Structure 1
Amino acid sequence: MDSTNVRMPFLDPSQDHISPFYLHPSDNPGMKLVSEKFNGIGYGDWKRSMLISLSAKNKLGFVDGSIEKPTDSNFLRAWERCNSMIISWILGVLDHNLARSVLYFGTAREIWVNLEERYGASSGTVLYALEQAINELEQGVDGISTFYTKIKRLWDQLDDVDPLPICQCTNCNCNIVQKMLKSQQDKRLVQFLMKHNDGFEVV
Protein backbone atom coordinates (compact mmCIF):
# COMPACT_ATOMS: atom_id res chain seq x y z
CA MET A 1 0.00 0.00 0.00
CA ASP A 2 1.39 3.43 -0.97
CA SER A 3 1.79 5.44 2.25
CA THR A 4 1.71 8.70 0.29
CA ASN A 5 -2.01 8.17 -0.33
CA VAL A 6 -2.84 7.74 3.36
CA ARG A 7 -4.54 10.85 4.73
CA MET A 8 -3.58 11.59 8.31
CA PRO A 9 -6.44 12.71 10.60
CA PHE A 10 -6.42 16.45 11.31
CA LEU A 11 -5.54 17.28 14.91
CA ASP A 12 -7.52 20.24 16.19
CA PRO A 13 -4.82 22.66 17.48
CA SER A 14 -7.13 23.78 20.27
CA GLN A 15 -7.00 20.20 21.63
CA ASP A 16 -3.21 19.85 21.40
CA HIS A 17 -1.75 20.60 24.84
CA ILE A 18 1.57 21.84 23.44
CA SER A 19 -0.03 24.13 20.85
CA PRO A 20 -0.23 27.89 21.56
CA PHE A 21 -3.85 27.61 20.37
CA TYR A 22 -4.75 25.32 23.27
CA LEU A 23 -6.96 26.74 26.00
CA HIS A 24 -7.21 24.92 29.31
CA PRO A 25 -10.74 24.26 30.62
CA SER A 26 -9.98 26.61 33.52
CA ASP A 27 -9.12 29.50 31.16
CA ASN A 28 -11.96 32.00 31.01
CA PRO A 29 -12.45 35.66 29.99
CA GLY A 30 -12.72 36.79 33.61
CA MET A 31 -9.34 35.38 34.65
CA LYS A 32 -6.95 37.93 36.22
CA LEU A 33 -3.40 37.32 35.02
CA VAL A 34 -1.90 39.87 37.44
CA SER A 35 -3.07 41.02 40.84
CA GLU A 36 -3.16 44.78 40.20
CA LYS A 37 -4.83 46.71 37.39
CA PHE A 38 -2.65 49.02 35.32
CA ASN A 39 -3.74 52.66 35.60
CA GLY A 40 -0.95 54.34 33.65
CA ILE A 41 1.63 54.21 36.44
CA GLY A 42 4.32 51.54 36.79
CA TYR A 43 4.07 50.19 33.26
CA GLY A 44 7.38 48.33 33.48
CA ASP A 45 6.30 46.20 36.45
CA TRP A 46 2.86 45.54 34.93
CA LYS A 47 4.33 44.57 31.57
CA ARG A 48 6.86 42.20 33.14
CA SER A 49 4.15 40.47 35.20
CA MET A 50 1.92 40.11 32.13
CA LEU A 51 4.73 38.65 30.00
CA ILE A 52 5.49 36.06 32.67
CA SER A 53 1.81 35.04 32.88
CA LEU A 54 1.34 34.91 29.11
CA SER A 55 4.54 32.92 28.71
CA ALA A 56 3.37 30.42 31.33
CA LYS A 57 0.17 29.96 29.32
CA ASN A 58 2.11 29.61 26.04
CA LYS A 59 0.38 32.70 24.64
CA LEU A 60 3.31 35.11 24.35
CA GLY A 61 3.29 34.89 20.56
CA PHE A 62 -0.12 36.57 20.38
CA VAL A 63 1.28 39.83 21.79
CA ASP A 64 4.88 39.79 20.53
CA GLY A 65 3.79 39.27 16.92
CA SER A 66 5.35 35.83 16.38
CA ILE A 67 1.93 34.16 15.98
CA GLU A 68 0.19 35.86 13.08
CA LYS A 69 -3.41 35.40 12.03
CA PRO A 70 -3.45 32.18 9.94
CA THR A 71 -5.04 31.85 6.54
CA ASP A 72 -5.66 28.12 6.95
CA SER A 73 -9.29 27.71 8.02
CA ASN A 74 -8.31 24.77 10.23
CA PHE A 75 -6.24 27.10 12.40
CA LEU A 76 -8.14 30.36 11.95
CA ARG A 77 -10.98 29.51 14.32
CA ALA A 78 -8.56 28.38 17.05
CA TRP A 79 -6.50 31.57 16.58
CA GLU A 80 -9.58 33.80 16.81
CA ARG A 81 -10.72 32.04 19.98
CA CYS A 82 -7.32 32.52 21.65
CA ASN A 83 -7.03 36.11 20.44
CA SER A 84 -10.43 36.96 21.96
CA MET A 85 -9.48 35.25 25.22
CA ILE A 86 -6.21 37.19 25.50
CA ILE A 87 -7.99 40.47 24.72
CA SER A 88 -10.35 39.70 27.61
CA TRP A 89 -7.39 38.99 29.89
CA ILE A 90 -5.69 42.27 28.98
CA LEU A 91 -8.87 44.34 29.36
CA GLY A 92 -9.46 42.69 32.73
CA VAL A 93 -6.20 44.04 34.16
CA LEU A 94 -6.55 47.61 32.86
CA ASP A 95 -8.42 50.30 34.74
CA HIS A 96 -11.78 51.36 33.32
CA ASN A 97 -10.61 54.35 31.27
CA LEU A 98 -7.61 52.54 29.79
CA ALA A 99 -9.72 49.51 28.92
CA ARG A 100 -12.22 51.71 27.06
CA SER A 101 -9.42 53.35 25.08
CA VAL A 102 -8.30 50.01 23.57
CA LEU A 103 -11.64 48.20 23.54
CA TYR A 104 -12.14 48.33 19.78
CA PHE A 105 -8.76 47.02 18.68
CA GLY A 106 -9.19 43.76 16.81
CA THR A 107 -6.18 41.84 18.08
CA ALA A 108 -4.29 41.38 21.31
CA ARG A 109 -1.14 42.39 19.42
CA GLU A 110 -2.66 45.77 18.46
CA ILE A 111 -3.62 46.47 22.09
CA TRP A 112 -0.15 45.48 23.30
CA VAL A 113 1.62 47.70 20.74
CA ASN A 114 -0.65 50.63 21.58
CA LEU A 115 0.08 50.36 25.30
CA GLU A 116 3.80 50.02 24.59
CA GLU A 117 3.77 53.16 22.43
CA ARG A 118 1.89 55.13 25.06
CA TYR A 119 3.65 53.98 28.22
CA GLY A 120 6.74 51.98 27.29
CA ALA A 121 8.83 54.62 25.57
CA SER A 122 11.58 56.12 27.66
CA SER A 123 10.97 59.78 28.44
CA GLY A 124 12.81 62.50 30.28
CA THR A 125 9.91 62.85 32.71
CA VAL A 126 10.01 59.18 33.72
CA LEU A 127 13.80 59.14 34.01
CA TYR A 128 13.75 62.30 36.10
CA ALA A 129 11.09 60.91 38.44
CA LEU A 130 13.04 57.66 38.97
CA GLU A 131 16.37 59.41 39.50
CA GLN A 132 14.71 61.81 41.94
CA ALA A 133 13.09 58.92 43.84
CA ILE A 134 16.46 57.16 44.14
CA ASN A 135 18.17 60.37 45.22
CA GLU A 136 15.58 61.05 47.91
CA LEU A 137 15.39 57.47 49.20
CA GLU A 138 16.92 56.96 52.65
CA GLN A 139 17.13 53.92 54.90
CA GLY A 140 15.22 55.52 57.75
CA VAL A 141 13.86 52.87 60.10
CA ASP A 142 14.05 50.12 57.47
CA GLY A 143 16.28 47.12 57.94
CA ILE A 144 19.02 46.45 55.41
CA SER A 145 16.97 43.86 53.52
CA THR A 146 13.85 46.06 53.28
CA PHE A 147 15.86 49.08 52.23
CA TYR A 148 17.72 47.10 49.55
CA THR A 149 14.41 45.80 48.20
CA LYS A 150 13.13 49.37 47.84
CA ILE A 151 16.19 50.71 46.03
CA LYS A 152 16.50 47.57 43.89
CA ARG A 153 12.93 48.05 42.67
CA LEU A 154 13.77 51.59 41.56
CA TRP A 155 16.95 50.39 39.85
CA ASP A 156 14.96 47.74 37.97
CA GLN A 157 12.43 50.34 36.82
CA LEU A 158 15.31 52.56 35.69
CA ASP A 159 16.85 49.67 33.72
CA ASP A 160 13.50 49.08 32.05
CA VAL A 161 13.15 52.64 30.72
CA ASP A 162 16.86 53.29 30.16
CA PRO A 163 18.60 49.95 29.46
CA LEU A 164 22.30 49.60 28.78
CA PRO A 165 23.11 49.51 25.06
CA ILE A 166 23.91 46.14 23.48
CA CYS A 167 26.88 45.71 21.14
CA GLN A 168 25.75 44.62 17.66
CA CYS A 169 29.22 43.95 16.24
CA THR A 170 29.83 40.56 14.60
CA ASN A 171 32.27 38.38 16.57
CA CYS A 172 32.85 41.24 18.99
CA ASN A 173 35.35 40.58 21.78
CA CYS A 174 35.62 44.05 23.31
CA ASN A 175 33.37 43.07 26.25
CA ILE A 176 32.05 46.64 26.37
CA VAL A 177 28.64 45.54 27.67
CA GLN A 178 30.21 43.57 30.53
CA LYS A 179 32.43 46.55 31.37
CA MET A 180 29.48 48.95 31.38
CA LEU A 181 27.47 46.55 33.56
CA LYS A 182 30.36 46.22 36.02
CA SER A 183 30.70 50.02 36.18
CA GLN A 184 26.96 50.37 36.79
CA GLN A 185 27.02 47.76 39.56
CA ASP A 186 29.99 49.43 41.27
CA LYS A 187 28.26 52.82 41.21
CA ARG A 188 25.06 51.34 42.62
CA LEU A 189 26.95 49.58 45.39
CA VAL A 190 28.49 52.91 46.44
CA GLN A 191 25.09 54.57 46.14
CA PHE A 192 23.52 51.89 48.35
CA LEU A 193 26.25 52.18 50.99
CA MET A 194 26.09 55.99 51.08
CA LYS A 195 22.38 55.89 51.91
CA HIS A 196 22.80 53.76 55.06
CA ASN A 197 22.11 55.26 58.44
CA ASP A 198 25.06 56.60 60.43
CA GLY A 199 24.99 53.54 62.65
CA PHE A 200 26.16 51.38 59.74
CA GLU A 201 29.24 53.46 58.85
CA VAL A 202 31.71 51.09 60.50
CA VAL A 203 30.10 48.05 58.89
Structure 2
Amino acid sequence: MASSNSSVPPIMTIDPSNTLYLHPSDHPGIILVSKFFDDAGLVAWKRVMTITLSAKNKHRFINNTLTMLNNEQQLAVWQRCNDMVILLILNTLTRDTSDSVLYAKTAQILWKELNSHYGQANDAKFYQLQKKPLSNHSRKQ
Protein backbone atom coordinates (compact mmCIF):
# COMPACT_ATOMS: atom_id res chain seq x y z
CA MET A 1 0.00 0.00 0.00
CA ALA A 2 1.43 3.39 -1.01
CA SER A 3 1.77 5.88 1.78
CA SER A 4 1.37 9.59 1.31
CA ASN A 5 4.18 11.84 2.47
CA SER A 6 2.46 14.24 4.84
CA SER A 7 5.74 15.91 5.89
CA VAL A 8 6.06 17.75 2.57
CA PRO A 9 4.48 21.19 2.98
CA PRO A 10 2.18 22.46 0.27
CA ILE A 11 3.75 24.79 -2.27
CA MET A 12 3.49 28.39 -1.15
CA THR A 13 2.56 30.77 -3.94
CA ILE A 14 4.17 34.19 -3.62
CA ASP A 15 2.97 37.24 -5.48
CA PRO A 16 5.77 38.80 -7.62
CA SER A 17 5.31 42.13 -5.82
CA ASN A 18 6.07 40.48 -2.46
CA THR A 19 9.53 41.06 -0.96
CA LEU A 20 9.88 37.30 -0.51
CA TYR A 21 9.40 36.58 -4.21
CA LEU A 22 12.48 35.33 -6.05
CA HIS A 23 12.42 35.70 -9.81
CA PRO A 24 13.38 32.59 -11.80
CA SER A 25 16.46 34.48 -13.06
CA ASP A 26 17.75 34.99 -9.50
CA HIS A 27 20.55 32.57 -8.80
CA PRO A 28 23.55 32.40 -6.41
CA GLY A 29 26.10 33.53 -9.02
CA ILE A 30 24.19 36.57 -10.22
CA ILE A 31 26.14 39.84 -10.32
CA LEU A 32 23.81 42.80 -10.72
CA VAL A 33 26.20 45.73 -10.41
CA SER A 34 29.45 46.77 -12.04
CA LYS A 35 30.54 48.79 -8.98
CA PHE A 36 32.57 46.45 -6.78
CA PHE A 37 33.56 47.35 -3.24
CA ASP A 38 37.28 47.04 -2.57
CA ASP A 39 37.57 48.65 0.88
CA ALA A 40 37.30 52.11 -0.68
CA GLY A 41 34.36 54.06 -2.02
CA LEU A 42 31.80 52.70 0.43
CA VAL A 43 29.43 55.63 -0.09
CA ALA A 44 29.19 55.11 -3.87
CA TRP A 45 29.02 51.31 -3.54
CA LYS A 46 26.23 51.54 -0.94
CA ARG A 47 24.26 53.83 -3.24
CA VAL A 48 24.55 51.39 -6.16
CA MET A 49 23.63 48.43 -3.93
CA THR A 50 20.68 50.27 -2.40
CA ILE A 51 19.30 51.04 -5.85
CA THR A 52 19.90 47.45 -6.98
CA LEU A 53 18.24 45.89 -3.94
CA SER A 54 15.33 48.31 -4.25
CA ALA A 55 14.87 47.39 -7.92
CA LYS A 56 14.86 43.69 -6.92
CA ASN A 57 12.36 44.51 -4.11
CA LYS A 58 14.87 43.26 -1.52
CA HIS A 59 15.89 46.53 0.16
CA ARG A 60 13.82 45.65 3.24
CA PHE A 61 16.32 42.87 4.03
CA ILE A 62 19.01 45.45 4.84
CA ASN A 63 17.05 48.44 6.17
CA ASN A 64 15.51 46.77 9.23
CA THR A 65 11.90 46.83 7.99
CA LEU A 66 11.48 43.11 7.32
CA THR A 67 11.36 40.71 10.22
CA MET A 68 11.67 36.96 10.23
CA LEU A 69 8.35 35.26 9.77
CA ASN A 70 6.82 33.04 12.39
CA ASN A 71 5.62 29.83 10.77
CA GLU A 72 8.03 27.20 9.47
CA GLN A 73 7.09 27.51 5.81
CA GLN A 74 7.33 31.32 5.82
CA LEU A 75 10.62 31.16 7.69
CA ALA A 76 12.06 28.85 5.04
CA VAL A 77 11.02 31.29 2.29
CA TRP A 78 12.43 34.24 4.28
CA GLN A 79 15.73 32.38 4.81
CA ARG A 80 16.01 31.57 1.11
CA CYS A 81 15.50 35.22 0.16
CA ASN A 82 17.85 36.43 2.89
CA ASP A 83 20.53 34.07 1.60
CA MET A 84 20.02 35.38 -1.94
CA VAL A 85 20.44 38.97 -0.74
CA ILE A 86 23.61 37.97 1.14
CA LEU A 87 24.94 36.44 -2.08
CA LEU A 88 23.98 39.53 -4.11
CA ILE A 89 26.06 41.60 -1.71
CA LEU A 90 28.96 39.15 -1.38
CA ASN A 91 29.23 38.91 -5.18
CA THR A 92 30.12 42.62 -5.29
CA LEU A 93 32.91 42.48 -2.69
CA THR A 94 36.58 41.74 -3.11
CA ARG A 95 37.74 38.49 -1.55
CA ASP A 96 39.32 40.11 1.52
CA THR A 97 36.23 42.22 2.17
CA SER A 98 33.95 39.26 1.58
CA ASP A 99 35.97 37.14 4.02
CA SER A 100 35.53 39.79 6.73
CA VAL A 101 31.71 39.55 6.64
CA LEU A 102 31.15 36.05 5.31
CA TYR A 103 29.65 34.63 8.50
CA ALA A 104 26.93 37.23 9.00
CA LYS A 105 23.67 35.32 9.52
CA THR A 106 21.41 37.89 7.91
CA ALA A 107 21.73 40.45 5.12
CA GLN A 108 20.95 43.16 7.65
CA ILE A 109 23.83 42.09 9.92
CA LEU A 110 26.17 41.86 6.91
CA TRP A 111 25.18 45.41 5.86
CA LYS A 112 25.79 46.72 9.39
CA GLU A 113 29.17 44.95 9.59
CA LEU A 114 30.29 46.51 6.32
CA ASN A 115 29.29 49.92 7.65
CA SER A 116 31.06 49.41 10.96
CA HIS A 117 34.25 47.94 9.41
CA TYR A 118 34.62 50.32 6.49
CA GLY A 119 32.22 53.20 7.07
CA GLN A 120 34.23 55.32 9.48
CA ALA A 121 37.46 55.17 7.50
CA ASN A 122 35.61 55.82 4.26
CA ASP A 123 33.65 58.71 5.77
CA ALA A 124 36.95 60.34 6.78
CA LYS A 125 38.41 59.78 3.29
CA PHE A 126 35.23 61.11 1.69
CA TYR A 127 35.44 64.23 3.88
CA GLN A 128 39.10 64.76 2.95
CA LEU A 129 38.33 64.37 -0.75
CA GLN A 130 35.53 66.89 -0.50
CA LYS A 131 37.75 69.30 1.42
CA LYS A 132 40.74 69.08 -0.99
CA PRO A 133 39.18 70.90 -3.96
CA LEU A 134 38.10 73.72 -1.66
CA SER A 135 41.60 74.20 -0.23
CA ASN A 136 43.15 74.06 -3.72
CA HIS A 137 40.65 76.61 -4.92
CA SER A 138 41.35 78.95 -1.99
CA ARG A 139 45.14 78.78 -2.61
CA LYS A 140 44.71 79.97 -6.21
CA GLN A 141 42.96 83.15 -5.15
| TM-score in terms of structure 2 length | 0.80
Match of 2:131 in 1: 131
Query: What stretches of structure 2 of length at least 5 have no aligned partner?
Result: 1-9
Runs of 4+ in 1 over 6 A off after TM superposition: none
Q: Render the CA deviation track for 1:56-80: whole Å, top value 9, x for unaligned.
A: 1110110111111112223101100
Match of 1:116 in 2: 115
Pair 1:102-2:101 in alignment: yes
Q: Distance in 2 between matches of 1:46 and 1:123?
A: 13
**Cα root mean square deviation, aligned:** 2.4
Q: Distance in 1 between matches of 2:135 and 2:46?
A: 25
Return the letter of the residue paired with 2:107: A
Q: Distance in 2 between matches of 1:22 and 1:134?
A: 47
Match of 1:41 in 2: 40
Q: Render the CA deviation track for 1:75-121: whole Å, top value 9, x for unaligned.
A: 10110000111111111000010001111111111100011122334
Q: Distance in 2 between matches of 1:115 and 1:96?
A: 13
Equivalent pair of 2:20/2:77 in contact (CA under 8 Å): yes
Match of 2:86 in 1: 87
Larger relative contact order (CA 8 Å, sep ≥ 6): 2
Paired residues, what number? 129
Q: Render the CA deviation track for 1:100-153: whole Å, top value 9, x for unaligned.
A: 11111111111000111223347545412331145448xxxxxxxxxxxxxxxx
Query: What stretches of structure 1 of length at least 5 have no aligned partner?
Result: 1-9, 138-190, 196-203
Q: Distance in 1 between matches of 2:73 and 2:136?
A: 57
Deviates more, 1:64-73 or 1:120-129: 120-129
Q: How does 1:37-76 map to 2 (within 5 A)?
A: 37-76=36-75
Aligned CA distance change for structure 1 residues 134 and 81 (closer, same or farther; 3 Å): farther
- Structure possessing the higher radius of gyration over alpha carbons: 1
* Partner SS for 1:64: coil
Q: Identical aligned pairs, as a percentage?
A: 36
Q: Distance in 2 between matches of 1:81 and 1:92?
A: 16
* Partner SS for 2:62: helix
Q: Render the CA deviation track for 1:149-180: whole Å, top value 9, x for unaligned.
A: xxxxxxxxxxxxxxxxxxxxxxxxxxxxxxxx
